[in-house]
Amino acid sequence: MLVQVVGCSHHGASIALRERLAFTAEQAREALDRWRRVFPRVESVLLSTCNRVELYSAADQENEPTFEQVAAYLARFHGLEPAEVVRHLYRHSDEAAVRHLFTVTSSLDSMVLGEPQIFAQVKQAYQLATQQDNTGPLMHAVFQTALRVARRVANETAIHQRRVSAASVAVADFARQVFERFDDKEVLVIGAGEMAQETLEYLEDEGARRITVVNRSFDRAVELAGRWKGRAVAWEDLPQALAAADVVISTAAAGRWIVDRQQFVQIEARRFARPLFILDLAVPRDFDPAIGDRPDVYLYSIDDLQEACQRNRVYRDKELPAALHIIDQETARFMAGMYHRAIGPVIEQLRLGWQAPKEEELQRLLNKLSHLDDHAKDEIRHSFDRLVNKLLHPPLMSLRDESSNGIPRGLLDALARLFQLKRRE
């Protein structure tokens, strides 16, 4: 059996190309169904995320699809010419493919090292392929092992313990220092920038539910609030919204402070000394930095987040060698098991092939020595077994030794011819 992966990622393909090759969940189902009709004897899993599109396949040597066939399949599914995409695709096979999957699933190949989303994405891709009847023994083995390896990396290293995106740092490293829970907090979003929306995603994961949006365009505020099942407030009502808020995410970037120290002091009187976490993500800043000196106010700018992100990246980089060591260990273990399974049928045929003549000769001898008692006959049987085992030992040891570095096809072919074995993949 051979396993391979053909695809592209953020390492060598532009976002424009990745968008053209990407699969929605419904398209992935259709693509897997088509693949099974074209390559009925080839197992497959299709992984499509914002940073990569990869088709994993497994087949015996006779049915293994070529790089060109997979490239053409991916391209033509989206109405593209293979020549447009083939130079942007990579192919890994056998050990390199297994190592690649383990590395991807453990988030060591991600744009943001250690990001948690890829584990769930790999798991979903594998489950979808299984539901579509595209997986088989090898895909089950390699993907289940990949998920286990990713959990091991997460448990035995700190690669996932330091956030490295500004939004995740804002919530995990800063907001969490102020509040233990967010389900009872009023979250105010000022503006409708992408960073604000990403931060809201992390806050929602932490339990935030009460969300208010203020924007200069009220229609835009209504749109964003609807997305988060929150409420929109007119720009003129910003002071009242600030007085009620516990968490503020601001991305207005008005070119000047939308709240200065003096204005905040007037709002502060209506807050009754409640803690206020302000995340000013705007450039230029929306809040007067002097507001951060007020009692019970925790004000952070984008520079504060970037500094924390950089510290976390350095910390994660130190953990990378330990994580890669786990990948090396698990890849070697998996490949040894795969190679052993590949030579298993040959070993079985060798043993069975020698068993029949041994029994014939043993029975012929015992018939001539019918006067022997049972103990003597048992000794003769054990002698025959030991002789066969000793004669089989050299070829079996050669097989095991050679298979530690790959499937020894030359040796398998020689043994098959020498002992007249039927080859099975």
The letter for the amino acid at 351 is: R
> What is the three-class DSSP state of 94?
coil
Q: How far apart are CA 215 and CA 409, in angstroms?
A: 68
Q: How far apart are CA 190 and CA 237, in angstroms?
A: 11
| Contacts of residue 356, Cβ cutoff 8 Å, sequence gap at least 6 | none
Q: List the structure tokens of 346.
A: 């040959």
Contact between residue 320 and residue 107 where contact means Cβ atoms under 8 Å apart:
no
Q: How far apart are CA 225 and CA 231, in angstroms?
A: 5
Contact between residue 99 and residue 149 where contact means Cβ atoms under 8 Å apart:
no
Neighbours of 404 (CB within 10 A): 12
DSSP state of 108: S
Tell me which residues are annotated as active site. Answer: 50
DSSP secondary structure string, 308-365? HHHHHHHHHHHHHHHHHHHHHHHHHHHHHHHHHHHHHHHHHHHHHHHHHHHHHHHHHH
Residue with tokens 């260990």: 329
Angle at 218 between CA 274 and CA 249, to 5 degrees: 35
**Of how many residues is the chain composed?**
425
Best CA proximity match to 152, nearest among 160, 164, 140 = 160
DSSP secondary structure string, 148-202? HHHHHHHHHSSTTTS--SHHHHIIIIIIHHH-S--TT-EEEEES--HHHHHHHHH
The letter for the amino acid at 267 is: I
Best CA proximity match to 109, nearest among 72, 146, 59, 68 = 146
Q: List the structure tokens of 42.
A: 């080839």
Q: How far apart are CA 185 and CA 386, in angstroms?
A: 77
